[in-house]
Amino acid sequence: MAQVLTTIVPLAGLWFFMSLSVDQAYWLTLVLSVPAAGFLVRLFMIQHDCGHRSFFKSRRLNDVLGTAIGCLTLTPHGYWRQAHNIHHASSGNLDQRGIGDIHTLTVSEYLSRSRLGRLAYRIYRNPLTFLGIGPVYLFVLKYRLPLDLIRKRPGTLISVMLTNLIIAGLVVGMGAWLGYIELLMIHTPVVLLASLAGVWLFYIQHQFDGTYWRRNEEWNFHDAAIHGSSHYVLPQPLRWLTADIGIHHVHHLSSRIPNYRLAECFDQNPELHVAKKVRLWDSIKSVRLTLWCEETNQLVGFSTLRHKRNEPQTV
């Protein structure tokens, strides 16, 4: 519980000081929103462990804490746990894309699309879309009714509706106390920054030069975990705020390892050091990698298609 307390108490304190400054010095509110977003990201990482039922030994405690945190991170615990576990079971499998991953087309799939279809994919993969519109859409809108999994597993609707109900109650209560405009002014920048960081972390953990994708008959869980998940090398305090999720290949190899054991596990097992290390500058350059080339087994950018002269011209 120490991790929970050292995360939720500073977050609550920052939020309180933001509420005091919102009418007098909004610039200070915006400054405080940066560390507040960092603590919200860390809270999400604790929920992430609860989703894998690794944070506590008790399955029930994991679900109770995960559900409670989900009301603050705007992420319904039951839905997200199932969707994320599907991601773990199929990460790097080209034939099982669609739930819990960044949409990625192969070169041949992209070329077979109409011009309009290619334009739509280019817009989707533009950083302004998946790092600007994407996080807001995902956490604020999609998670209110995520139909992608509810259609297949209707039972997840209970978790979604429960989370929505509690969020609505928090908004009404906090709005009545502070004022609804003030509530938006305080919490909007926190949500925007935290959701952007969350999407970015998920993106760079699997979208990097040297990652792993294979068709079902060639796909291997161990290879997908070690080579399809990056070791995102972050400086402190970012490692602490992200709960060492940058050691992502170890997490994918065994999702039952809690965040507070990832570094220890990595250090004690030299065979885990073969994973691709991605540093901050490398991660920024990775946004240009948008398509999977099955001929070379690597992520490539749109610029590599210029030499292909036989692109379909259908509309």
Q: What's residue 307's pLDDT?
A: 60
Q: What's residue 61's pLDDT?
A: 96
Query: 281-306, pLDDT tens digit by residue?
Result: 888 889 999 999 999 999 999 988 87
Amino acid at 313: Q
SS3 75: coil
Taking 50 as the threshold, does the pLDDT of residue 315 lie above it? Answer: no
Residue keyed to tokens 């030069």: 209
Could you tell me which residues come within 8 angstroms of residue 170 by beta carbon, excluding any fewer than 6 positions away?
A: 71
Could you tell me which residues come within 8 angstroms of residue 281 by beta carbon, excluding any fewer than 6 positions away?
A: none
Give the containing element (helix H, strand E) for 283: helix 280-285
pLDDT average, residue stretch 136-147: 89
Structure tokens at 128: 């302004």
Give the containing element (helix H, strand E) for 134: helix 134-136
SS3 308: coil
Q: Any idea which of 6-15, 82-91, 305-314 has the lowest mean pLDDT?
A: 305-314
Number of domains making up the chain:
1
Q: What's residue 272's pLDDT?
A: 93
Full-model pTM: 0.91
| Any domain includes 88 | yes
The separation between CA 211 and the C-alpha centre of its own chain, rounded to angstroms, equals 17
Could you tell me which residues come within 8 angstroms of residue 213 by beta carbon, excluding any fewer than 6 positions away?
A: 92, 93, 94, 104, 228, 292, 297
Give the containing element (helix H, strand E) for 64: helix 59-73
| Any domain includes 251 | yes
| Any domain includes 113 | no
Opening angle at CA 232, ends 228 and 237, nearest 5 = 155
* 95 against 155, higher pLDDT: 95
Tell which residue, 245, 241, 186, 195, has the closest CA to residue 6: 241
pLDDT average, residue stretch 128-138: 91
Amino acid at 287: V
Q: What is the distance between the alpha carbons of residues 207 and 103, in angstroms, rounded to a whole number?
A: 10
Query: 181-229, pLDDT tens digit by residue?
Result: 999 999 999 999 999 999 999 999 999 999 999 999 999 999 999 999 9
Q: Write down how long the chain is.
A: 315
Query: 69-92, pLDDT tens digit by residue?
Result: 999 999 999 999 998 999 999 999
* Per-residue three-class SS string for 177-214: HHCHHHHHHHHHHHHHHHHHHHHHHHHHCCCCCCCCCE
Q: Model confidence at 110, in pLDDT bands (50, 70, 90)?
A: very high
Tell which residue, 202, 213, 201, 205, has the closest CA to residue 300: 213
| Any domain includes 238 | yes
Could you tell me which residues come within 8 angstroms of residue 255 by beta carbon, excluding any fewer than 6 positions away?
A: 52, 54, 85, 88
For residues 21 and 32, the answer to whether their CB atoms sit within 8 Å is yes
Structure tokens at 108: 């041949």
Q: What's residue 148's pLDDT?
A: 77
Q: Model confidence at 150, in pLDDT bands (50, 70, 90)?
A: confident
| Any domain includes 112 | no
Q: What's residue 146's pLDDT?
A: 83
Q: Which domain holds residue 129?
A: 2-95+124-285
Q: Model confidence at 313, in pLDDT bands (50, 70, 90)?
A: very low
Per the omega criterion (within 30 degrees of 0), is the bond before 270 cis?
no
| Any domain includes 302 | no
Taking 80 as the threshold, does the pLDDT of residue 309 lie above it? Answer: no
| Any domain includes 290 | no
